Structure 1
Amino acid sequence: MKFVSTATLIAALSFSAATFAQSGDMGNMKMEGKDMQNCMDMKGMKGMDMKDMDAKKCKDMMKGMNAKGTSKATKSASHEADAVVKEFDAAQGKVTLAHGPVKSLGWPAMTMAFGVKDKALFDKLAVGAKVHVGFKKDGDDYVVTSVK
């Protein structure tokens, strides 16, 4: 009886170990479920379209965040990115940009909404236009400070 129980336990552990070993490197697998939800729930992430973000990109981005979910970069720091204007609403003071990686924040390329305080900057925005933007943290949001 002990032999059967022991053999069953060994077989079960062997199967579990083999299954775990086959999972290998899942860095290229799209994240779904709890880990990706934790990434998307971080403070300062509202307005970001992270549908194309995988586990590695999310974890890399999280490395640049402190425990409160805000960037480790100073709040007064300026950041820059090349972007394509997806949409904007001058009345609401918002622009949605598909921007490239932002090295100063450790962000991968993504689409997100930014505030625009200086209404004159809207004259430089057109849907589909390729722009180079400067932006900074303002409270919980990021605000475009320059458009080239």
Structure 2
Amino acid sequence: MKPTAALSLILALSASGAAFAQSGGAKTTEMKGMDMKAMPMDNMNSGSTAKTATHQATGVVKAVDTVKGTVTLAHGPVKTLNWPAMTMTFTVKDKMFFDKLAADKKVTIDFVKQGADYVVTSVK
């Protein structure tokens, strides 16, 4: 390639990249014309302010481990998560729930996802 052709190619690519950067890339052009002040921000996921969905499961207690703070439950389907019936272990952070959790007892629990864990928030 001739030096002038190479230089022309470099300048052309540099100019298109600079124009793209000035426009803010694809995200800015998609939002052009939108009034950000008029947009409701309460549904935006900021991590700490996002509402946590509560789910419910009914099943039979298979094991309780007060040392680890867990309960294993053979539960029916959980419609809100599209889960089939299964046996799984939940974290129990509130120790008073252990009074209601005994092996072979049928219970209904409410639970939420916290990080990688599913945490019991109520036991009936």
TM-score, length of structure 1 as denominator length: 0.49
* Residue 81 of structure 1, CA deviation: 1.1
98, 106, 123: which one aligns with 2:82: 106
Aligned-partner residue type, residue 122 of structure 1: F
Q: What is the alpha-carbon distance in structure 1 between the residues aligned to residue 102 and residue 120 of structure 2?
A: 15
Residue-pair matches, total: 75
Query: Is 2:119 the counterpart of 1:146?
Result: no
Aligned-partner residue type, residue 81 of structure 2: L
Cα RMSD for the two superposed structures: 1.2
Q: What is the alpha-carbon distance in structure 2 between the residues aligned to residue 111 and residue 92 of structure 1?
A: 17
Q: Indicate the residue corresponding to 1:136 in structure 2.
A: 112
Write the mapping of 1:73-92 to structure 2, written as runs, cut at 5 A: 76-92=52-68
CA offsets 1:84-107 (integer angstroms, 9 cap, x no match): 000011111000000100000000
Q: Is the 8 A contact 1:80 1:133 kept in 2?
A: yes
Q: Indicate the residue corresponding to 1:93 in structure 2.
A: 69
Aligned-partner residue type, residue 96 of structure 1: T
DSSP 3-state at the match of 1:101: coil
Runs (4+) of structure 1 exceeding 2 A deviation are: none
Write the mapping of 1:25-104 to structure 2, written as runs, cut at 5 A: 76-104=52-80
CA pair 101-107 structure 1, distance change in 2 beyond 3 A: same
DSSP 3-state at the match of 1:121: helix
Q: What is the alpha-carbon distance in structure 1 between the residues aligned to residue 123 and residue 67 of structure 2?
A: 18
Q: What is the alpha-carbon distance in structure 1 between the residues aligned to residue 51 and residue 104 of structure 2?
A: 29
Q: Indicate the residue corresponding to 2:27 in structure 1.
A: none
User: In terms of Rg, which structure is larger?
Assistant: 2
TM-score, length of structure 2 as denominator length: 0.59
